[in-house]
Structure 1
Amino acid sequence: MDYEGRKIKLMPKQQMEEITFMAQTAHRSTSRVLDIFELLSTTSSDGATLTEIAQALESPKSSILPILQTLVARGYIDMDYRTNKYSIGLNLYMAASIYRSKISINKFIDNEMQHLTAILEESCCLAVLNGRHSLFLHRTDPQSGVHCQKSPGKEELACLGAVGKSLLCDYKLKEISDLFLSNGQSLPNDVNLYRIHVQMEETRFTGLSYEYGEVESGIQCIATPIRYQEKVVAALGVILPIFRLTPEKVLDCTRLLPVSAQRIENTLSSTTEDISEIFSLNGFRNL
């Protein structure tokens, strides 16, 4: 074949197909390794069995087992031969520790939110409880971000929004009543604290809370609590404009939000940084 006066020898079709197949296979294998790391980082401390890993990754055990054996041999995951469960190994922990020492918790949280935004193509928000309001600290947006009140520095009544319901999910009914109705405070006429408390109870068991336009017309939100030492310290949410809402996107949110929250909680569990400083407007100001 001639190209700009140069002779180019074309690669045989069979050889091209072999190279393409090898590249695809290598890519799938790499993805499987990362899938395993992500899965084990969010499972309980005692780990997961081969069957549980294969089921979670929807992959045959025969293709997962050699990867697990290699990772065990290299020290990136551990194998408990009494329970046949795999868990995060020392070498992976050391690699993560080196990375962790280079960035702040706030940057880690920002990276997790950016990851969610990239996958879901929706805005992601972080909030803390400030009196009877949810105070938004940070937000990540896709190129087609939606304009709404859930922006850093803004507040909304906590008993109405999804993030607020996550922040309050451990509160008893009396605690909620004291928070919102003491000292002559009142709520909008259509707000039923008992019904909202039931929703918060559901959040405590499912790890997810919802709003359906109660705060802003045309805006829905799904959120999950973030805990530190078993106490809710923040809430992570995905902002969903109704015109882009689909059952598939809701399913993705309910699947991915708890995983991101668990990663953040795992990182918080070993931090020496001040939690009140991490979850503050100032903590995210200079990212």
Structure 2
Amino acid sequence: MATGDRKTTQHRSTQRVLDILTTLSEADGGLTMAEICRALEAPKSSLFPILHTMADANFIDYDADTTRYTLGLRSFLLASSYERAGGIIDIFTSSMRELVDAVDETSQLGTLDHGRVLYIAKVDSAQPVQLKSNIGMTLGVSYTAIGKVLMSDKTDDEIKRLVGEPLTQPTPKALTTMDDLLREVHEVRETGFGYDREETTPGVQCIAVPVRSHGHVTYGISVTTPSYRLTDEKAALIKSELTKAKERVERVLAP
């Protein structure tokens, strides 16, 4: 069938669903209804019922505070089914295994979901470590190392809307004010590293790096270790190997 013939047989509403998913996947921080309409060159009257249905089915999310649409959990789960069959997760876990072999500590991979860190992969080391997070679990962004690196691409105002106040404090060492959180996110932008200094679990620390895909921070890779094993030398090794893991993955993800 010729390309022109195939175009005439496309189902318009189905094509718009696909166009919406594609457009949102490329938009860091989501899009408003007006922005989606402009991107798709379609009227609000035709897109609104489609967006409403997709949101009801959790393929996209709508934030009433920001009036923005983002990809939803069911879209992520669909992507995950591909990843489990040998897609992007395999790229990450391969690099994370090299990281774990080098530092002998557990590594995790996370992404943002509904304003929280969703943990989507983990590679364990032979060393014991107590973790509150596991694959499929979510934790807050303000007290996790991965959460802080995932926010490093956002403006201060976006972070304030995402996190809200008061900040959640799982342990006494968790950050208490928005100013403290913004200061740490600024540190991520300057140094490339985010930290959880016993903020999630007493006696356990974490160092993370942001991973960019198509120019945006989309993932965070971390190394978690008990505080008593985190000497200055060990911290330097972890940061060096995290940087290598990040660079390996970003080379593959680069468009």
TM-score of the superposed pair, with normalisation by structure 1: 0.55
1:150 corresponds, among 133, 148, 165, to 133
Which of 208, 211, 219 does residue 223 from structure 1 map onto? 208
For 2:167, the equivalent position in structure 1 comes to 187
| Contiguous gaps of at least 5 residues in structure 2 | 1-85, 170-174
Cα displacement (A) at 1:104: 3.4
Distance (whole Å) between structure 2 residues aligned to residue 145 and residue 265 of structure 1: 29
Q: Name the amino acid aligned to 2:193.
A: L
1:207-218 pair list within 5 angstroms? 207-218=192-203
2: CA distance, partners of 1:224 / 1:192: 23
Task: Name the structure 2 match of 1:252.
Answer: 237
Q: Deviations over 1:20-53 (max 9, x none)?
A: xxxxxxxxxxxxxxxxxxxxxxxxxxxxxxxxxx
1:178 offset after TM fit, Å?
Answer: 1.1
Number of residues of Structure 1 aligned to a counterpart in Structure 2: 166
Q: CA deviation at 1:240?
A: 1.2
> Does the 8 Å CA contact 1:173/1:194 hold for their aligned counterparts?
no
CA distance in 2, matches of 1:156, 1:219: 15
SS in 2 for 1:136: strand
| Cα contact 1:221–1:238 (8 A) shared by 2 | yes
User: Which residue number in structure 2 is paired with residue 263 of structure 1?
Assistant: 248
Q: Which residue of 2 aligns with 1:95?
A: none
**Which letter maps to 1:168?**
M
* Contact kept? 1:117, 1:124, Cα under 8 Å: yes
Report the TM-score, using the length of structure 2 for normalisation.
Answer: 0.61
The answer to whether the 8 A contact 2:145-2:196 is kept is: yes
Task: Give distance in 2, aligned partners of 1:122 and 1:214.
Answer: 18
1:170 lines up with 2:150 in the alignment: no
Contact 2:100 2:107 in 1 (8 A): yes
Q: What CA distance in whole angstroms lies between the structure 1 residues aligned with 2:138 and 2:91?
A: 24
Distance change (3 Å), C-alpha of 1:175 and 1:104: closer
**Identical pairs, percent:** 27
- In the TM superposition, residue 161 of structure 1 has moved relative to its aligned partner by 0.9
Cα RMSD over matched residues?
1.8
Counterpart contact for 1:161–1:210, Cα < 8 Å: yes
Alpha-carbon shift at residue 108 of structure 1 (Å): 2.1
Within-5 A mapping of 1:15-30 = none
- Structure 1: runs of 5+ lacking an equivalent: 1-102, 271-287
